[in-house]
Structure 1
Amino acid sequence: MNSPANVAGSPAVQRDVPERVPTDWKTATMQKRIRRRYAAERRFRFFGLAAVSLSAGFLAFLLITMLMSGIGGFQRTLVTLPIDFPAAGLEVDRAQLKTRGADLALAGAGLENTVNGAAAATFGEDNRVISDSAWLTVRDAIKVDPSILSRKVSIPVPAAPGIEEAAKADGEPADEAMVAKLGRTGAISTGFNTDFFKSADSTDPTAVGIWGALKGSLMTMLVTLLIAFPVGTLSALYLEEYAPRNRWTDLIEVSINNLAAVPSIIFGLLGLAVFLGTLNLPRSAPIVGGLTLALMIMPVIVIAGRNAIKAVPPSIRDAALGIGASKVQVVFHHVLPLALPGILTGTIIGMARALGETAPLLMIGMRAFISQPPQGFADPATVLPVQIFLWSDQVSRGFIEKTSAAILVLLAFLLAMNALAIYLRNRFETRW
């Protein structure tokens, strides 16, 4: 039989609720708990600040070290060299100086011997004052003004590596004495090395530049972007908006996550086997490097794209479908524009990673000595990280500064790309 309390319509049973006793925060036990909580908070703040300070300290140490060793790479020491062309008997057809064969004409006429002879007559046979590439500077001056071949002129030419180091107070005593002698006559000067940003690789540390490697990096990154961004974005859209939820989709998702963690040299082996071995694409070309790096960063773009698409509220899709939009219109007119900032952020971060990669590009042969900047996507080229690697392996002391200077340029590009990613995220991010 049901009790009266369970009969429908009967009043609910009233139960006695014990009265809550207010907490006395002034007791010794509660004060101890409060002190323990405050101490835990102080420890957390201390360890957090220590971690940030340690990271900032390592970054500052890296930047200061690179600046101290690389700032000299942006400077150039020039020595004023007097050359009497009529006395040297340099015979060159003036008409050839206006053609593409001017370089060969001047080299064949013995311009290098003329410049070295003028240096020996001015500074003595035992003193190595000018660099091996000094005659190239004289050649360029003649091409600009052929009339100097008929008179005696003084041309600033690059100093030898030893003289350049001595001018920066880091040379041998004999070189420092020569620098002091040249300084008394005003024949030596140090200024900003603009040729470092206009020249390509060279065996002479005073004539090397990063333009060839920088142009190769830009061309490689362009190929990478044109392939990885659209393919990665469309893949993310399909997997998030169209793909059925089954075990095959789960397998693809796991595979993409695994590819994002694969060492970069594996992609270099893949590029070597597929693009060079199977497709017979030109070795050490920006197009091959771009294809290889596109494979490497594509999983990163897909993951970032899926997360950005997933962050778009379902109400956006429902509202668009409610007013008669098709599935394709919903995706490309509403979902993709709202997810684009996140996709761009992931793309730029992936591009920054690709810009600093060396191992996969070494595998496809982009470590050759390239003395001329590439003119096309199929021309032999190198990239900035590989150029840094090659210079670091040189025995000449003059390459140490140039290596550090190239590292500073690479760091500047990486910082700029990461800053752009942060700007795009903060500028276009929508908070729901």
Structure 2
Amino acid sequence: MSDTASPRATRTPTDWSTDLMQRRIRARYRAERRFRMLGLGSILLSTAFLAFLLITMLGNGVRGFTQTEVRLDIDFPRSTLMLDPGALEGPDADAALANAGIDTVVRTAAAERYGALGERRVLSDSAWLKVREAIRANPTIVAGSHTFWLAASDQIDLAAKSDATPDAEATYDKLVAAKAVKTGFNANFLSAADSTDPTAVGIWGAFKGSLLTMLVTLALAFPIGVLAALYLEEYAPRSRWTDLIEVSINNLAAVPSIIFGLLGLAVFLNFMHLPRSAPLVGGITLALMTMPVIVIAGRNAIKSVPPSIRDAALGIGASPVQVVFHHVLPLALPGILTGTIIGMARALGETAPLLMIGMRAFIASPPGGLTDPATVLPVQIFLWSDEVSRGFVEKTSAAIIVLLVFLLAMNGLAIYLRNKFERRW
């Protein structure tokens, strides 16, 4: 009998050349391919949903930045205008314009110019305001005839964008044939505030309210959050009390935002009697919501500073306070700023806490200060989306585009600050 063992007898269970191991390897490769295909499919599906959202928003929103105008010739000497041009030079100019019957003059001129078309509301309800502002800027125009390009009604505006009723389409075609209509950029949308007329609304009032609210939020949340992070990471002794504070901060970061709205309603409005629907109250409420995020981001950024930096500073005679504020804080600042801007971007898109403190009021003029009634972009979008008129649909999408651009700008600023101040070791 030969002492040499057969090749099959020398194989071990982990021999890669056996049929069992080959089947396992093929099964492993098939599983990896399936996992790769699932991952690729997930990415493609999420990208498709994102593309659908962006295309839909851009398709509807771009039209919100345009406005249709109708030509109207007004012969002021023949009209029923009750206005003395000399009255516009005195202190009672506003009262004189208010009692001049300009809206009646515009409706009469539209009926004379377009006949039956004028009765179908060719012009928007707020078109006469542009005539009033033109008279205020140049009172001499009431001495003769003048040509105005006034905002068309919401139905004519939709017809110009191929999204209206057949009757409105027919009216628009007649205006086109008369060369009395044009569509251009809607500058009023970027400079006006809210209105009941979809052709006269603008986002500047809500945008300014968002800026004032974010200013209060940043002024409160950033210094308090950074100082709290420094104390917890550099000075606070390890004790049961400190552990309780850390757990509470982590839990506050996960609390639903509407809870902070209820807190603001109970404390700042009902107890402290601060002005309702004001950027001051909105900023304080959002600061409470943003502060835990800044504290957590600040602690992580401070932890990332190598201990050798502290040891070197202490070795050359720096005090503990100098170590923190001259060395640790500057090196941790990029991470702190990035976390702060991300937290501010989250606060900018919040709606629920601001609804609870009354920032859903109809605001017809931009706020002049921190205590004036105001609204913010997310709430304005919510209010417009709830309107019945179809003219508000494209305005809602346009406001969403403005909000997304604002958020992208804040995220871009975070990336820039991180890359500019980041230190590598």
Whether TM-score is above 0.5 comes out as: yes
Instruction: Give secondary structure in 2 for the equivalent of 1:83.
Output: strand
Aligned to 2:352: 359
Instruction: Give secondary structure in 2 for the equivalent of 1:235.
Output: helix
**Deviation at 1:316?**
0.6
* Cα 1:419–1:32 shift into 2, 3 Å: farther
**Deviation at 1:57?**
1.9
Aligned to 2:193: 200
Choose from 82, 85, 91 the match for 1:94. 85
Instruction: Give secondary structure in 1 for the equivalent of 2:74.
Output: strand
Aligned to 2:46: 55
RMSD between superposed Cα atoms in Å = 1.8
**Deviation at 1:66?**
1.3
Q: Please, which moves more after superposition, 222-231 or 408-417?
A: 408-417
1:112 aligns with 2:103: yes
1:279 aligns with 2:281: no
1:282-328 deviation digits (Å, cap 9, x = unpaired): 11110110000000010000001001101111111111111110111
Aligned to 2:171: 178
* Cα 1:108–1:212 shift into 2, 3 Å: same
**Deviation at 1:42?**
2.9
Instruction: Give secondary structure in 1 for the equivalent of 2:270.
Output: helix
1:350 counterpart letter in structure 2: G
* Cα 1:128–1:284 shift into 2, 3 Å: same
5 Å matches for 1:85-164? 85-98=76-89, 101-125=92-116, 126-164=119-157
Q: Please, which moves more after superposition, 395-404 or 39-48?
A: 39-48
Superposition misfits of 4+ residues, deviation over 6 angstroms:
none
1:198 counterpart letter in structure 2: S
Q: Please, which moves more after superposition, 159-168 or 292-301?
A: 159-168
Aligned to 1:212: 205
* Cα 1:395–1:227 shift into 2, 3 Å: same
5 Å matches for 1:16-95? 25-95=16-86
Aligned to 1:387: 380
Paired with 1:338 and 1:372, the residues of 2 have a C-alpha distance of 44
TM-score where L is the length of structure 2? 0.92
Paired with 1:291 and 1:99, the residues of 2 have a C-alpha distance of 43
Aligned to 2:368: 375
Paired with 2:260 and 2:93, the residues of 1 have a C-alpha distance of 44
Aligned to 2:7: none
Paired with 2:93 and 2:211, the residues of 1 have a C-alpha distance of 30
Contact conserved, 1:158 with 1:206, CA < 8 A, in 2? yes
Aligned-pair identity (%): 71
Instruction: Give secondary structure in 2 for the equivalent of 1:190.
Output: strand
**Deviation at 1:34?**
4.1
Paired with 2:358 and 2:285, the residues of 1 have a C-alpha distance of 12
Q: Please, which moves more after superposition, 398-407 or 77-86?
A: 398-407
Aligned to 1:290: 283
Paired with 1:294 and 1:270, the residues of 2 have a C-alpha distance of 12
**Deviation at 1:426?**
3.5
Contact conserved, 2:222 with 2:294, CA < 8 A, in 1? yes
Contact conserved, 1:358 with 1:386, CA < 8 A, in 2? yes
2:381 counterpart letter in structure 1: I
Contact conserved, 1:198 with 1:211, CA < 8 A, in 2? yes
Aligned to 1:10: none
Q: Please, which moves more after superposition, 124-133 or 76-85?
A: 124-133
Choose from 237, 240, 248 the match for 1:244. 237
Instruction: Give secondary structure in 1 for the equivalent of 2:365.
Output: coil
Listed as ranges, the gaps of 5+ residues in structure 2 are 1-11
Contact conserved, 1:98 with 1:143, CA < 8 A, in 2? no
Contact conserved, 1:70 with 1:401, CA < 8 A, in 2? yes
Listed as ranges, the gaps of 5+ residues in structure 1 are 1-20
Paired with 2:73 and 2:197, the residues of 1 have a C-alpha distance of 22
Instruction: Give secondary structure in 2 for the equivalent of 1:238.
Output: helix
Aligned to 1:188: 181
